[in-house]
Amino acid sequence: MARPLLPTRPPAESADPDDLLHLARTSFTDALARLRESESVATLRDALPMLWQQITDPSSSLRTPVGEADVTTFSKRRLRDALDQIGSAFTLERARYYLDRLARAVQETRTGRINDIDLNRWKEYDDILTDSLWLFDRRDASGAHHAGFWGNFVPQIPYQLMRRYTRRGDLVIDPFAGSGTTLIEGRRLGRHTIGVELNPAVVEQTRATLMHEPDRHGVVCALDVGDSTTLDWTALLEQYGHRSAQLAILHPPYHDIIRFSDDPRDLANAPSVETFLAMLGDVVARVAPVLDGGRYLALVLGDKYADGEWIPLGFLGMQETLRHGFTLKSIVVKNFEQTAGKRSQKELWRYRALVGGFYVFKHEYIFLFRKA
């Protein structure tokens, strides 16, 4: 079936060094200013191939080694697109408008408060999703990521959330850390992470996994055994030299659809949906005070089926979270990877669906909340 599938490891993170151009900021700005002085759109257009030649010639004065103070880095493809847009303008005024936009992207960085996205160069962030439907064809298995933990989420989820809702050096907390997907991604992206996980055996295994992810940015990447329904996050953060967090990612069990342990404090062992929601509420209530105002909490949750009835666990969890001082900002629907067990029973599920008058789960939700 033909459908748009998102890249497993987005381009920014696997940036091809051959696609990157390191340009001398001042010289390039001057070149754009000269172009702006063209007398007509035709002369301006005629000058573009020469500029492109200079840009792509490694020995030209427009090029500079990476690491120089006066450097601006572009994707060759993106810069080509920007120049093509200038060249396709019908009027000098329009061409100058595009030129000014490019000059601004070269000269200044414009970021918001909660991420490092340079809004003057927003077109370059092809890897960052802004639509509410996320379709991933396979999980990112690079570095320390592995699919061996039943019930983990794909690394693309914390990747997207951290790029969108945190800056480098921010702290991300995960009260249901499991196999450490959030922690691995944070270490990679230069975000501090503190995770809590109830199951000591899982913590031990995850700590070993984390050793395989190189610490290039020198960030905290801590995992503690604990019960997130009663946890004192202020004390835990203090242990690692932090006072507050800038993003919380919550990926609880989807009630009892996977058994993680025998521990009664495990949300998967809640005796009813009502108790599950109350426990989830306890976790949110513990997390909320350490999250900075204006920052985000992401809840990743799917629905379940019981006694012939679709239980909208996702929306029930959303309602529960809203009781703790958050505003709902988005509901993302993400395609659901079938677990190994279910895959072998795919045909059986299809048959059951046809007989039972229901649809087989193929999606889960990512609810985005902003703290007031």
Ligand X SMILES: C[S@@+](CC[C@H](N)C(=O)[O-])C[C@H]1O[C@@H](n2cnc3c(N)ncnc32)[C@H](O)[C@@H]1O
Q: How far is the CB of 311 from ligand X (least distance, A)?
A: 17
Q: Report the C-alpha dihedral over residues 158, 252, 366, 214, rounded to 10 degrees.
A: 0
Report in angstroms the alpha-carbon separations of 75 from 5, 55, 66, 105.
Answer: 22, 12, 13, 13
Q: How far is the CB of 317 from ligand X (least distance, A)?
A: 12
Q: How far is the CB of 260 from ligand X (least distance, A)?
A: 4
Binding region for ligand X (CB under 6 A): 149, 151-153, 175-176, 178-179, 181, 196-199, 202, 227-229, 251-253, 260-261, 265-268
The smaller minimum CB distance to ligand X, of residues 190 and 252, is found at 252
Q: How far is the CB of 258 from ligand X (least distance, A)?
A: 7
**DSSP annotation of 248:** E
Phi, psi of 260 (to 5 degrees): -100, -30
The smaller minimum CB distance to ligand X, of residues 89 and 225, is found at 225
The smaller minimum CB distance to ligand X, of residues 11 and 151, is found at 151
Q: How far is the CB of 224 from ligand X (least distance, A)?
A: 10
The smaller minimum CB distance to ligand X, of residues 93 and 262, is found at 262
The smaller minimum CB distance to ligand X, of residues 168 and 259, is found at 259
Q: How far is the CB of 78 from ligand X (least distance, A)?
A: 32
For the packed helices 76-87 and 92-107, what is the interaxial angle rounded to 10 degrees? 160
Cα–Cα dist 362/372, whole Å: 33
CB 31 within 8 A of CB 62: yes
Cα–Cα dist 136/145, whole Å: 16
Cα–Cα dist 8/363, whole Å: 17
Residue nearest to ligand X (CB): 178
CB 6 within 8 A of CB 135: yes
What are residue 192's DSSP bridge partners? Answer: 171
The smaller minimum CB distance to ligand X, of residues 82 and 161, is found at 161
The smaller minimum CB distance to ligand X, of residues 175 and 317, is found at 175
Cα–Cα dist 337/37, whole Å: 55
The smaller minimum CB distance to ligand X, of residues 28 and 153, is found at 153
Q: How far is the CB of 238 from ligand X (least distance, A)?
A: 19
CB 190 within 8 A of CB 160: no
CB 86 within 8 A of CB 102: yes
Q: How far is the CB of 277 from ligand X (least distance, A)?
A: 13
